Structure 1
Amino acid sequence: MGQGTYRRLLKERRRDLSFGFLFFFLSCVGQTFFISNFGPTWREEFAVSDGLLGLCYFIATSLSALCLAVAGPLIDRTTLARYACGVVVFVACGCLIAAASPNIAVLCLALLMLRLGGQSLMIHVAMTSTARTFGNDKAKALALCIMGLGVAQAVTPGLLVIGIEAVGWRLSWVASGLVILCAGLAVVQLLPQSKTTANLSQGAKLPALAVLRDPRVIIS
């Protein structure tokens, strides 16, 4: 029965699944398996140690987690399509700032944008869209969509190695930003129009701090 449900979803809801799958895929620019390919060139370019570069990455990741508590709930205050477009532009800007970084401080800013936008918000959009769209089938749909991240993990590191060797790390980030911008805005068109309302729930809204104090959130 489970396999039949997956086949039915792939047959009947292919367009809806494509949005989640591709957004998971595009989130790769903020993932460690993507960014780590630039480590050797950054250490050489900015004359920093492994420890200092790792510290910058830690700070950027930690700050992105804090910013997510503020940026994440905004998805309930606008349409999903508008929010997704904003995230795509934000991530693309992070790529371009990384490409133009003159020093390690600016690179830290770029890492913050990439970790927040790619690793957090793009996945946030993909999961929210899937949950809103598929109802009782959302768990199965999410299992299919999240495969996009696995595909990205298998494909993008090899492409990056080739790109960095061919055109350098800065142009590789420029290319990544252009791909995110063009592909991301195109993927947003796959969103079901009926599911992009600002807030599908009419229930009471909890303040962000109240949610963070919920023991169930802490445990999860």
Structure 2
Amino acid sequence: MKEYFTFFKKNFKEVRFGWTLTLLSGFGQTYFISLYVPEIIKVFGISNGLFGGIYAAATVITSFLLITLGHFVDHKPIKTVTFYTILGLALSSILLGFSEIHMIVLFLALLGLRLTGQGLLSHISQTVLSRRFDLDRGKALSIASSGYSVGEAIFPIIVTSLLLWSNLKTTSLLCAAFLVFYLIRMRFLDLKKFDKDLDLESKISGKILLTDFKDIISERKFFIIMPSSFVMSFVSTAFFFYQYIFVKDLKWSVTLYASFFIVYAITRFIMSLIGGLLVDRFSAKKLFRFYLIPLGIGLFPMVVSNHILAALFFLVMIGITTGLAGTVKTALLAEVYGTGKLGTVRSFFNMFMVLSTAAGPLVVGIMMDNGINFNMIILLLILLTFAVILNNQRSLFRKS
């Protein structure tokens, strides 16, 4: 931990900025939006599968918008890119508050939340820190990733309490107010250090982007790295999106289950720090083989038991995987593709990750509507996860 203390003290402002963005990205993450799902379904009188379809459509569009906007972090002042991203997130929260007006308003709100929160804020944080730090990349990314853990620990409790006290409209408007407050705070931040790593003179055209994407997808290593990112987001999103539906159906205590997220967040935080040290010491390429295994193991108890402690075990194990992933995935791309066009590369891989977050709720929602029970859904997720874990081992025996 002494290594972290020394690094954090020396680079406090840069790391604090990255950490804040990952924290604020929570407003567009699936675990956060899932808190609203029961009320949204009730207000609009729609099924789980239909809402999953709406969410999937918004997320698919987000994935394609992400690859057209993600490269700006390589060529535009970071303060400008971040300001407009957070402004978009605040406006999307306002739209969600008034979503009862029409289904189109709900769709636009989901689109904005997914694009700016889950998509761009995470992308900006991970890209600028990975590019800024080389030898200490693992530590920088792991500290920033702890922002996810803090959000997962506090936001569900705060939002659940607000929803019990008020309603969807009041809660989402309060979230928007919080984001506007940070925009005011941003005026006093000096982020010019991040701009030193940019190529501000470059002109990026659609043709250049398409060429870059074609080069990425033509290489074998893409088909080793991409499925790993896809399956992790698919499984976690599918579970977290409907978690409070599962809680209700299985007659679990909502309050007790929500409190489990503190354990999940602590686990993720600890593993994020450990992951940073491991990446700096052994490289992300080596950790890539193993980081999904806890996720697969964590699903097993829920196949054979509907006890709430099975959910706790899962949250601990997925906390291990997500804690490692926050550092491993971005560091791996920097190691494999370099940092010159890291924003472009990350946005392309993130497109598939975001697509998986659309597919997860859609597929599971359809299965639920067709009467497939909770245990069978979990079993199918296990089979998918271990198929990808096997694929991750390919890089050990053949050249990329």
- Both structures adopt the same fold (TM-score exceeding 0.5): yes
**Secondary structure, in 3 states, of the residue corresponding to 1:91?**
helix
Q: Which moves more between the two structures, 31-40 or 130-139?
A: 130-139
What corresponds to 1:40 in structure 2? 38
1:129 positional shift: 2.3
**Secondary structure, in 3 states, of the residue corresponding to 1:135?**
coil
1:108 positional shift: 1.0
1:26 positional shift: 0.4
**Secondary structure, in 3 states, of the residue corresponding to 2:124?**
helix
1:154 positional shift: 1.1
CA distance in 2, matches of 1:200, 1:150: 32
* Structure-to-structure mapping, 1:6-155, within 5 angstroms: 6-101=4-99, 102-155=101-154
Q: Is the 8 A contact 2:75 2:201 kept in 1?
A: no
In structure 2, list runs of 5 or more residues that go unmatched: 226-400
Q: Is the 8 A contact 2:126 2:141 kept in 1?
A: yes
Q: Is the 8 A contact 2:75 2:202 kept in 1?
A: no
CA distance in 2, matches of 1:75, 1:104: 32
Identity %: 24
**Secondary structure, in 3 states, of the residue corresponding to 1:146?**
helix
1:200 positional shift: 4.1
1:139 positional shift: 2.1
Q: Is the 8 A contact 2:73 2:81 kept in 1?
A: yes
Q: State the TM-score, normalizing by the size of structure 2.
A: 0.51
Residue 117 of structure 1 aligns to which amino acid in structure 2?
Answer: T
1:103 positional shift: 1.8
**Secondary structure, in 3 states, of the residue corresponding to 2:46?**
coil
Distance 1:188 1:127, change over 3 A: farther
Q: Which moves more between the two structures, 144-153 or 7-16?
A: 7-16
What corresponds to 2:173 in structure 1? 174
1:145-170 superposed Cα distances (whole Å, 9 cap, x missing partner): 10100110111011001111112111
Distance 1:201 1:6, change over 3 A: farther
Residue 130 of structure 1 aligns to which amino acid in structure 2?
Answer: L
Residue 135 of structure 1 aligns to which amino acid in structure 2?
Answer: D
**Secondary structure, in 3 states, of the residue corresponding to 2:211?**
helix
Provide the alpha-carbon RMSD of the alignment. 2.3
Residue 148 of structure 1 aligns to which amino acid in structure 2?
Answer: G
**Secondary structure, in 3 states, of the residue corresponding to 2:134?**
helix
What corresponds to 1:209 in structure 2? 210
Q: Is the 8 A contact 2:59 2:114 kept in 1?
A: yes
CA distance in 2, matches of 1:197, 1:128: 14
Structure ranking higher on relative contact order (CA contacts 8 Å, 6+ apart): 1
1:212 positional shift: 2.1
CA distance in 2, matches of 1:24, 1:164: 23
Distance 1:13 1:150, change over 3 A: same
Q: Which moves more between the two structures, 110-119 or 190-199?
A: 190-199
**How many residues align structurally?**
218
**Secondary structure, in 3 states, of the residue corresponding to 1:157?**
helix
Residue 48 of structure 1 aligns to which amino acid in structure 2?
Answer: I
1:194 and 2:155 are equivalent in the alignment = no
1:14 positional shift: 1.7
Residue 25 of structure 1 aligns to which amino acid in structure 2?
Answer: L
1:178 positional shift: 1.3
In structure 1, list runs of 5 or more residues that go unmatched: none
Q: Which moves more between the two structures, 53-62 or 202-211?
A: 202-211
**Structure with greater Cα Rg:** 2
1:83-134 superposed Cα distances (whole Å, 9 cap, x missing partner): 0001011111111111112122220111011001000100111112212333
CA distance in 2, matches of 1:190, 1:137: 23
1:219 positional shift: 4.0
CA distance in 2, matches of 1:173, 1:141: 31
What corresponds to 1:161 in structure 2? 160
Runs of 4+ in 1 over 3 A off after TM superposition: 187-192, 200-206, 216-219
